[in-house]
Amino acid sequence: DGGGLEGSVPISRVIPPSTLDYITLVFALSALPPAAAPAAAARLAALLRPGGCVLLRDYAEGDLAQMRHPSGSKLSNGTYIRGDFTIA
């Protein structure tokens, strides 16, 4: 599946399952709608070899990026929308 993006190629056609030792995600999950994150994580996990790992850096509760959010950007408890429409 292409994750629902028009014109996208299913990742399984590019990277065979169970072939990666690690996956690096840098501010990637916050670019997805919160409801899409579990399915994206499952698709990525299927690409990892047994014992593989995901290296993740994204926004976190109480980090400096969250403290800088202007009032009115809070979507729910601990969830904010940034000016670039990513979720923090």
Checking if the pLDDT of 4 tops 60, the result is: no
What is the model's pTM? 0.66
Q: What is the mean pLDDT of residues 4-11?
A: 70
Selected residue with higher pLDDT from 72 and 84: 84
**What's 12-70 look like in SS3?**
HHHCCCCCEEEEEEECCHHHCCHHHHHHHHHHHHCCEEEEEEEEEECCCCCCHHHHCCC
Per-residue pLDDT tens digits for 55-82: 999 877 777 766 676 666 767 766 777 7
